[in-house]
Structures are given as C-alpha cells and as structure tokens.
Amino acid sequence: MPAALDPDLKKYAYKYPHLRDHLVHFKKITGKYPEYREELTKEDKKKRPNVLYHIEDMLFAHVWGELAQETKYIVIEPTLNEDEFSKYHIVRELVLEKSIEEKSPESDEEFTDIIEDILSKTVTIKKHPREQNQSRFAKIFNFTGKIEVTEETYNKLRYRLNRDIVGLGPLEPMIRDKYFEDIHVINREITYGVHRIFNMVRTNV
C-alpha cells in the first residue's frame, strides 16, 4: 500500500478539505494512504482492499478491508461543525418556508433553483477577516442582514441543503455512486450495500 499520496489524489485533497482531513486521519491510524482509482476493475477486489475513488463533485468513496473483517465502504463528504450546523438550520427553514408559500417545485431542478435563490439572498461569503470581539449575533449576520460565511462553508451549506432536501439525505452519496447496486438498512442504524466490485460492504452511513 502506498506510503506516499498519489499525485491525482493530492490535487483533490488540496481542493477539498474534507477529503484532506480523511486522508490525514487514515494515514495516522494505519500508516498508509489508499490507492487512488479513476475507474475500478475486478482486479481491485482483494482480501484487503484499500482504494479510493471519486464519485462526483465533492463526493468520494474509500473501500477498506482487513483480514477477517467486513469490508468497509466509507463515504467522504463535507461535514458541518457546530457553528455551520446552526447556520444550516436557518437557511434550511427559509428554503422549506418558501417551498410552502410558493408553487410546489415540479422537479429536482426547480428545488435546486429555490435553494440557490435562498442562499444568494441570505448568505454572503466573507471578503475580509472580522473582528474577534463581536457578539454572537454579529458573528452570524453582517450589516446587510445576511449570514456571513467562508467560501468553504458556503459550499458545504449548498451541498447539505441539496443532499437533504432534494436528495435522499445520508443515502444520497451511495445513490450517486455508479458502482452501488443495492442498499440495505438494518434496524435504521447499520447500512450495508451491494457494490459492483466488492459485493456486500458495510458503510459508515
């Protein structure tokens, strides 16, 4: 298994902080990086797989297995910290309110347009560092009345809103994964999936 990061994977890690965090954590606990694949083949099916591939956009999947253990399918997606989660709830409520007040969206594309419209009207990307001694209210809203966030947080909010409102929530990454053929949820807590290359895998969803 590679001790050095694949150049293509390194480019993705530079672009997506959530992927970089996953790679750093995995390297810390295992001492190695996953092998990056543009496309999976039957040759990737091993007793101890350790491969990572790009699903689409901000989504990645890491398949990892150890001897005598279940093969794990790890969804790598943007996550929200406590502060970002509070802002997410504010924007989510506005999106849902607008969807009720106006004509119901007839397609996912129309719902996505609503999300983009609400984001543009309620959220702005920081251009300059803010003073550290602001009140909690001032830290969330700037003088325009909009929620002020970093570009990274803005992209996270957009992703999560689309995932949770337009998509199928936590299951959405697997729905988008072209290698996934079926999903099994056991007791609403453990999710397994049938992977075209690795067969039955246990997910982190």
Q: Can you give the residue ranges of every domain in the chain?
A: 7-79+173-203, 82-169
CB-based burial label for 100 (10 Å; 0-12, 13-18, 19+)? exposed
- The answer to whether 117 touches 110, Cβ cutoff 8 Å, is no
Residue 197 pLDDT > 60, yes or no? yes
pLDDT band at 203 (very low <50, low <70, confident <90, very high): very high
Q: What is the pLDDT of residues 43-102, one digit of tens each?
A: 998 878 999 999 999 999 999 998 778 899 999 999 999 999 999 999 888 888 877 776
Please, which residues have CB within 8 angstroms of residue 194's CB and are 6 or more apart in sequence?
180, 181, 182, 183, 184, 200, 201
Architecture of domain 7-79+173-203: 2-Layer Sandwich (3.30)
Residue 138 pLDDT > 90, yes or no? no
Name the residue with higher pLDDT: 89 or 147.
89
Please give the mean pLDDT across all residues of the chain. Answer: 87
Mean pLDDT value of segment 190-201? 93
Residue 133 pLDDT > 60, yes or no? no
Question: Per the confidence metrics, is the pTM higher than 0.75?
Answer: yes
Percent of the chain with pLDDT over 90: 59
Per-residue pLDDT, 60: 98
pLDDT band at 181 (very low <50, low <70, confident <90, very high): very high
> Degrees (nearest 5) of the Cα angle 36, 39, 43?
85
Mean pLDDT value of segment 13-37? 95
The region of weakest confidence among 56-65, 127-136, 164-173 is: 127-136
Per-residue pLDDT, 67: 76
Per-residue pLDDT, 143: 53
